[in-house]
Structure 1
Amino acid sequence: MLSLLLLLSATAPTDLALLDRAAEIFAGARQGEPGGPIAPIDRRLRLSACGSSPEFTWRTDAHDAIVIRCPDPRGWRIFVSVRAAPAVPAVQQAVAAKPVKEEPVIRRGDPVMLEAGDTGFAVSADGVAMADAAPGERLQVKVDGAKAPVQAIAVEAGKAKLPGW
C-alpha cells in the first residue's frame, strides 16, 4: 500500500483511479462488495496535485464512509461511501442483546430508608417507593415533609441511596 500512496503523491493532477484502488485497499474490500466503496469516485472531480501522500481515515466508527484528505495547506478532502457489511442475523442480535432482567427489590408502596453519606457522616430519611426497582435502578421516593418526591437508586430490599453519594 505504501508504494501505491507514493505513486499517488507523484501524480499531477491526482489520479482518481488510483484513489479508488487505495480506498479499496484501505476498506479491505473491493468496490461494490460489502465493506468496500459503493461506487467509483466521481470522474468530474478535478483534484489538484497533492504534494504528499493522501491520508485515509474512517468518517465515523460505523465505517460508513472513507475520508481521503490531501494534507497540503491548500489541500482537498473527499468522502467515499462504503457499502454496509452484512449485519448479524436478527436472531443472534436478540440473543446477544437481551439483558437479564433482575427482580425488583423495592416495590411500589414499600417503605424505603434513603441514605446519603461520606466518610465521617451519614444522613437517612424514611420514605415510600413510588415505583418498582431492581438493584442499581432509579426510582422516585416520596419523603415525609418534602413537597416533591426525590430520585434514589435501589440498593437492596427497603434501602436506597441518593445519586452521587
Structure 2
Amino acid sequence: MLLALAFIVAAPAGAQDFQSTAMLDTVVAQFTGKSVGEQGGAIAPIDTRLKLTRCAAPQLEWRSEGHDAVVVRCMAPAWKIFVPVAAVPRPKAAVPAPMPANIVVRPPVAVKAEPVIKRGDSVTVEAGSEGFSISRQGIAQNDAPAGGRLGVKVDDKQPPIQAIAIEPGRARLPGYAEGG
C-alpha cells in the first residue's frame, strides 16, 4: 500500500520535470500574433506526448522567410522543435504585361572595339617601373584593341610574348604600369 501511494505521489513530481506544451503553445501564439488554427498561427497544438526537459527561457524564431514554421529552442538543456504555421499568403510579384505581337525585342549588340594594332604591324613592347624602362621591337601576331592582349614575336627562335596594346605601334608587358 505504501509503495502504491509512493508512485501516486511521485507521478505528479515526475511530470513537473517536463516542459508544458500548453505553455509553449501560448508562447508560439504570442510570437506569431495568432492563435492555434488561425491563418498565421500554429496549424495545431504541440503534441502533448512530447517529453521535453523543462526550459527556463525558450527562444523563438522563424524557420524561413516564408514564415511557415516557428523554431522553438532551448539552450540548456539543449532541444529544438519546429511548430508548423498556417503561413499567410503573400502577394505575388506583379507579372509584366505581355508585349504586343508586332514588337520584336532584340538582344543588345556587342560593339567590337576597333584594333589599334593589327597583325603584321611593327610593335614596340615596353616594360619598366619608376627609374628604368626597357623596350623591344617585334611583330604583332594578331589584332588587338586598346587594352586588349596580343602576341608579339620578338625573336624568331622563341615563341611570341604576350603584351597589352596601348596605341598604334606600342604595347606593354602585362603587370607593368603604362609610362613606367
Change in 2 beyond 3 A, CA 1:20/1:105 = same
Deviation at 1:69, TM superposition (A): 0.7
Say which of 17, 24, 31 aligns to 1:26. 31
- Normalising by structure 2, we get a TM-score of 0.47
Q: Indicate the residue corresponding to 1:82 in structure 2.
A: 85
Aligned length: 99
CA distance in 2, matches of 1:21, 1:60: 21
Deviation at 1:32, TM superposition (A): 1.2
1:81 counterpart letter in structure 2: P
1:53 counterpart letter in structure 2: A
1:113 counterpart letter in structure 2: K
Deviation at 1:70, TM superposition (A): 0.8
Q: Indicate the residue corresponding to 2:147 in structure 1.
A: 122
Contact 2:66 2:87 in 1 (8 A): no
Aligned CA RMSD, in angstroms, stands at 3.1
- Normalising by structure 1, we get a TM-score of 0.50
Q: Indicate the residue corresponding to 2:112 in structure 1.
A: 113
Deviation at 1:14, TM superposition (A): 0.9
CA distance in 2, matches of 1:18, 1:100: 52
Q: Indicate the residue corresponding to 1:61 in structure 2.
A: 65
Q: Indicate the residue corresponding to 2:40 in structure 1.
A: 35
Deviation at 1:97, TM superposition (A): 4.0
Moved over 6 A (4+): 99-102
Cα distance per residue 1:129-159 (max 9 Å; x no partner):
xxxxxxxxxxxxxxxxxxxxxxxxxxxxxxx
Sequence identity percentage: 40
Deviation at 1:114, TM superposition (A): 5.7
State the structure with more CA Rg: 2
Cα distance per residue 1:8-58 (max 9 Å; x no partner):
xxx7421110100110110121111111100000111011112x3000011
Deviation at 1:66, TM superposition (A): 0.5
